Structure 1
């Protein structure tokens, strides 16, 4: 009787995606680097005050093809966005939104060039006071380009100089990238876990990343690479990422404590 109960319980956990021994988080090598890929923030200007809550963004991208499907081996391992390669934009510490083409030329606002400009409006209104913007280049399957030139961040203000962001952009911090939103379930296909590390390096005796899956599965990551999550089933899941110091204490700053929900259907 006990054996039957145990078997039923294990089956339930497996279906729900909550059996920790069935969920694996595996480090994989970074995809081949896009040579000379870079992004920079043109607008909003650093520490400048915008007079409207509808803020426009302008970014300069160099050496990275936006809108195309990534041409690297990992492309076939993971779910790909219909946008293709894109720019991931994070305001404050919200979830990212992705932007792709069309690009604008610096002068005549048309065409596609090796160095392109992208202009768009933040898709939600911002409260008065201090805000932050983080932008980075991402593969069509979501992986961030892990180079200093492939990431940019700054502060800006809306209507007033009220301080609101509890994060020093010159101090160590982590940027949550994937998983996000919705993804279709495919047997044996992993879920991408991806993040960007700023102003520090990960190691076994230094900074680390703590990942918690569904409030039940905890792992300590010591390599800045993409990770594959295996074993999650259909349903809503939650990922929590924290940046830890050498004493395994969470590093100060609101960006170092991230929780995101996503749904597998």
Structure 2
């Protein structure tokens, strides 16, 4: 009898203990705090898709492009060049002279380079097809590389009218030198040159320099078409440089965006301007320090890259249509 009573008491104590230790499911346990490894794993599992979307918007643009560090092969090339990357090349446009009139559709370009060059010299390595060079830009068209200043560089079939010529030195991988005096620009006018309006302007070697009778793209407003655009060299000016052309294989892994700025300091450098870029009309991104960026994650095919100079209010800075430039590139991995 005593044993039976003792057994009943023990069973009752066990039941009471189980009831006391059971968590109340009607209350939130540890609100806002650590919920245990199991709950963290569950939350991570249920939020995986949402988290991935947030990462895409914060670290990538709408097309999955991600800004990455300077590619290792470029870092290696920089190391091999020694002091050249610290050079301060200065260019001077000898021909065509500023505000000159040219009576031919063939326009000779003559440049002089000086300054603290530290071994920098424009010249193509015939083995690699690369080398230091000068970017030569007619109006607001894609640049052509000028490798040997001792050889004549000629623009052919240049249409009648006013034109701009912009030049600046570049490295073998097309990154521009951004030092004082490196960038030069002149305006000149072709009169009675007799160019074929149905054909593009080219170099002597046949490289296209400008479309037939090109006009600058308007900056959100109507403007009279002009081969040069109403460009004021005293105003803030962005010159689009890269990307350009076709990128194949490993060269398409990380593609550089580079530009030249005149009379404009970016916010990250203590100024008031920003550079805005987008790819295929996707999400706009911003550059606040004047240096190139590399983007990875490109898909095969054609892409439109837009680079713009904007003021602190987010408006494109008006300067002849040049401060908003779009180029088409091709990626073939």
When residues 21 and 90 of structure 1 are mapped into structure 2, their CA distance, relative to the original with a 3 A threshold, is: closer
Match of 2:123 among 55, 60, 67: 67
Structure 1 length-normalised TM: 0.76
Q: Which has the higher contact order (CA 8 A, sep 6+)?
A: 1
* Counterpart pick for 1:87 among 127, 131, 134: 134
The structure in which a higher percent of residues are helix is: 2
Distance of 1:174 and 1:19 partners within structure 2 = 22
Q: Measure the CA separation in 1 of the matches of 2:170 and 2:251.
A: 25
Any conservation in 2 of the 1:66–1:100 contact (CA below 8 Å)? yes
**What is the distance in 2 between the residues matched to 1:236 and 1:55?**
32
| TM-score computed with the length of structure 2 as normaliser | 0.61
Q: Secondary structure at the match of 1:149?
A: coil
Task: Note the 1:107-256 alignment, pairs <5 A.
Answer: 118-122=151-155, 124-159=156-191, 164-186=228-250, 189-203=253-267, 206-253=272-319, 254-256=321-323
Alignment of 1:7-86 (within 5 A): 20=62, 22-26=64-68, 33-62=85-114, 63=117, 64-68=120-124, 82-86=129-133
Q: Is the 8 A contact 1:185 1:234 kept in 2?
A: no
Following TM superposition, by how much is the alpha carbon of 1:149 offset from its aligned partner in structure 2, in angstroms?
1.8
Alpha-carbon displacement from aligned partner over 1:2-24 (angstroms, at most 9, x marks no partner): xxxxx9xx9xxxxxxx9726211
The answer on whether the counterparts of 1:59 and 1:119 sit within 8 Å (CA) in structure 2 is: no
Check whether the contact 1:178–1:195 (CA below 8 A) recurs between aligned residues. Answer: yes
Q: Which segments of 5 or more consecutive residues in structure 2 lack a partner in the other structure?
A: 1-48, 53-59, 79-83, 193-225
Aligned-partner SS, 1:232: coil
| Contact kept in structure 2, 1:27 and 1:223, CA below 8 Å | no
The 8 Å contact of residues 83 and 100 in structure 1, kept in 2 or not, is answered as no
Q: Which structure features the higher share of strand residues? A: 1
SS at match of 2:284: strand
From the superposition, tell whether residues 210 and 146 of structure 1 become closer, same or farther in structure 2 (CA, over 3 Å).
Answer: same
**Secondary structure, aligned partner of 2:312:** coil
Superposed CA RMSD in Å reads: 2.9
C-alpha distance 26-252 of structure 1, shift in aligned 2 (>3 A): farther
Unmatched runs of 5 consecutive residues or more in structure 1 = 1-6, 11-17, 70-80, 105-117
Q: Which 10-residue stretch deviates more, 54-63 or 89-98? A: 54-63
Q: State whether residues 136 and 150 of structure 1, in contact with CA within 8 Å, keep that contact through their aligned partners in structure 2.
A: yes
For residues 141 and 210 of structure 1, the distance between their equivalents in structure 2, rounded to whole angstroms, comes to: 22
Give the SS at the match of 2:322. Answer: helix
